[in-house]
């Protein structure tokens, strides 16, 4: 079975919208899909939000890596790369909102393991 891990990089943002959309889509699928939230030691107000989200979203496919010090975007991306052991790894920033069929598109697009795929992001009007 193919494994998919969606890594969400976060700093000083509430990732609830992206988590909500991904959870809705993953629950309707049979594939092995994991979501990992990586927070680069956000400010206190956002750490409180993350704590609440963590206790609300207890699905077994959601994992949390909450740093205890700010290491920067580049170091966080390296941690994401180092953590991936098998399957497909996707990285998405927490301020993005995936399409309603993101998971379907992801699974149907990722076919050749010798390629590095790059996506695109269209900013919302707001």
Handedness of CA 111, 113, 114, 119 (dihedral sign): positive
Q: What tens digit of pLDDT does each residue of 9-57 get?
A: 999 999 999 999 999 999 999 999 999 999 999 999 999 999 999 999 9
pTM of the model: 0.92
| Half-sphere exposure in the Cβ direction for 112 (13 Å, CA) | 5
With CA atoms as reference, report the closest residue to 76 among 106, 42, 48, 39.
39
């Amino acid at each position: 079975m193919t494994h998919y891990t969606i890594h969400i990089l976060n700093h000083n943002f509430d990732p609830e919208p992206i988590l909500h959309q991904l959870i809705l889509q993953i629950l309707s699928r049979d594939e092995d899909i994991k979501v990992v939230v990586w927070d680069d030691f956000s400010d206190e107000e956002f750490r409180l939000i993350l704590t609440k989200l963590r206790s609300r979203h207890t699905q077994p496919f959601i994992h949390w890596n909450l740093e205890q010090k700010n290491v920067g975007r580049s170091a966080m991306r390296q941690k994401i790369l180092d953590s991936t052991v098998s399957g497909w790894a996707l990285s998405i920033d927490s301020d993005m909102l995936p399409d309603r069929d993101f998971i379907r598109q992801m699974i149907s697009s990722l076919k050749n393991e010798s390629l590095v795929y790059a996506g695109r992001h269209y900013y919302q009007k707001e």
